[in-house]
């Protein structure tokens, strides 16, 4: 089975090289680093921050230096999902193809401990929307040209640094090309800073709340930007680290935001148990994500953070200062800084400190799926059978649990490739599922009710899907294939 297009003949030689060497994306708990499929070298494309004083392009300042991110007085008394501030035409420079404009929303939400919090969502408006004449009361208003679909897209953040939030970094470029492809289908793309103001990486409840409240806030004002509110459809999508946020959002939707209708959720390469993932990422080039996950999961947990700081080695090559430096790193920077290390060497008692209930209880409550509700929206799960970061059986067990509780799920287990490959191999199926639910047509078979688990065999064919940056400034620059994606 395949939904991937045939490659143009002029690309076959390069495609052969790509397939022979295999594209590898370190996406464990949502890493944002590619490996050059031709050389195997790391390409830290999402680790860069927008230059603050660029002469050609203009960028917003980082959140810590941007007063717009400071919520107004009295914000705590507002309801979850309330709009606190908006920024139309948010990005001075848009580096994502098929986007014609952006706007941002500062909104009230709730953290993992049910305390009042706030976050930011960035919304990208598709180029197809340019013929949507506003305001809607205008005689020249053309509803047929206005979008009705919007997708809450969870960008893997992977960082414990608030200045590495998607709302800031996406000014440079998008990681994978998925936003470009959604925009090409005429959908608004909403990206929440689901880690919140403290960069709570891997705090699932925080991520779910932030995404649900982002959806509430954006939908409350999106009509001003031309979204057809009388026929709006809302989708949810994330892969790997993004799937972590999307899955918790789907679980929490019924209890936390019963007023919100989500028409589809798409969960790719999910990691149901952070403990399993951290064990598998340690001692590899993904070890940096173990560090950022430990930091992120303890941001809102004072007792766990106190325990962490107490148990870090004060001196030696693996010391507390080196560990805590990750709080000022992007996910890509952390991957580079801690590559190949045994993260447990930073602890006084080694792995025993990480396995201590002071840490594991927090992980259980905030980073294990299946404990916070059942997704009630139609859902598509996809995962590689040989996923090396998280066992496919862990996801299968979650799917079975939800199905036994009445969920409507299509689950694809790809017999080819691993975690990194499925990012590419699953994209077109994810887009077709979203199209079926948002637009009423899609080239994918979906169970009307109940669940279906299918073993599919879909080869890695990334050339068509590679993001634009790959051809213009990444490993593909100079190959004469700019824009092929």
Q: Catalytic residues, which ones?
A: 240, 387, 419
Cis previous bond, 2, omega within 30:
no
Contact criterion met (CB below 8 Å) for 220 and 135: no
Contact criterion met (CB below 8 Å) for 201 and 182: no
Quick count: other Cβ atoms within 10 Å of Cβ 480? 10
Q: Which two tokens stand for residue 383?
A: 């995962």
Contact criterion met (CB below 8 Å) for 6 and 218: no
CA of 106: how far to CAs of 67, 177, 337, 381, in Å?
12, 25, 32, 30
Q: Which two tokens stand for residue 153?
A: 């897209």
Nearest to 331 by CA among 44, 73, 8, 16: 44
How many helices and strands in the chain, by DSSP H and E? 16, 13
Q: How far apart are CA 158 and CA 91, in angstroms?
A: 22
CA of 206: how far to CAs of 119, 175, 300, 372, in Å?
10, 23, 9, 12
Q: Which residues are CB-neighbours of 449 under 8 A, at least 6 positions away?
A: 408
Q: Which residues are CB-neighbours of 139 under 8 A, at least 6 positions away?
A: none
* Element (DSSP H or E) covering residue 85: strand 83-88
């Amino acid at each position: 089975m395949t939904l991937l297009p045939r490659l143009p003949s002029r690309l076959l030689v390069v495609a052969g090289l790509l397939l022979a060497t295999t594209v590898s994306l370190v996406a464990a708990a949502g890493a944002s680093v590619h490996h050059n499929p031709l050389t195997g070298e790391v390409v830290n494309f999402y680790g860069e921050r927008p230059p603050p004083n660029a002469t050609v392009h203009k960028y917003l300042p980082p959140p810590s230096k941007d007063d717009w991110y400071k919520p107004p007085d009295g914000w705590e008394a507002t309801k979850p999902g309330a709009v606190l501030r908006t920024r139309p035409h948010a990005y001075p420079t848009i580096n994502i193809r098929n986007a014609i404009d952006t706007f941002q929303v500062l909104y009230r939400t709730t953290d993992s401990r049910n305390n009042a919090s706030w976050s930011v969502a960035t919304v990208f408006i598709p180029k197809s929307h340019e013929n949507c004449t506003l305001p809607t009361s205008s005689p020249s208003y053309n509803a047929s040209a206005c979008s009705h679909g919007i997708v809450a897209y969870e960008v893997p953040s992977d960082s414990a640094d608030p200045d590495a939030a998607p709302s800031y970094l996406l000014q440079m470029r998008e990681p994978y090309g998925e936003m470009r492809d959604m925009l090409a289908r005429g959908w608004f793309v909403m990206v929440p800073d689901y880690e919140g103001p403290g960069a709570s990486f891997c705090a699932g409840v925080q991520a779910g709340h932030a995404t649900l409240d982002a959806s509430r806030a954006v939908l409350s004002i999106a009509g001003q930007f031309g979204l057809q509110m009388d026929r709006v459809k809302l989708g949810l999508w994330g892969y790997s680290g993004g799937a972590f946020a999307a899955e918790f959002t789907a679980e929490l939707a019924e209890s936390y935001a019963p007023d919100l209708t989500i028409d589809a959720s798409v969960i790719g390469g999910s990691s149901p148990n952070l403990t399993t993932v951290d064990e598998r990422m340690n001692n590899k080039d993904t070890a940096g994500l173990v560090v950022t996950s430990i930091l992120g999961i303890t941001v809102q947990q004072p007792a766990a953070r106190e325990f962490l700081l107490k148990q870090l080695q004060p001196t030696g090559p693996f010391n507390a200062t080196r560990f805590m430096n990750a709080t000022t790193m992007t996910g890509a920077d952390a991957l580079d800084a801690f590559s190949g290390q045994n993260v447990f060497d930073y602890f006084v008692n080694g792995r025993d400190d990480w396995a201590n209930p002071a840490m594991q209880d927090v992980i259980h409550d905030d980073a294990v799926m299946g404990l916070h509700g059942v997704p009630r929206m139609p859902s598509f799960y996809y995962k590689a059978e040989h996923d090396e970061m998280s066992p496919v059986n862990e996801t299968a067990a979650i799917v079975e649990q939800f199905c036994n509780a009445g969920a409507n799920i299509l689950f694809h287990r790809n017999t080819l490739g691993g975690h990194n490959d499925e990012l590419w191999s699953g994209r077109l199926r994810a887009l077709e599922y979203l199209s079926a639910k948002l637009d009423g047509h899609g080239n994918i078979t979906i169970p009307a009710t109940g669940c279906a688990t299918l073993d599919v065999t879909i080869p890695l064919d990334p050339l068509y899907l590679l993001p634009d940056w790959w051809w213009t400034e990444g490993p593909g620059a100079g190959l004469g294939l700019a824009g092929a994606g």
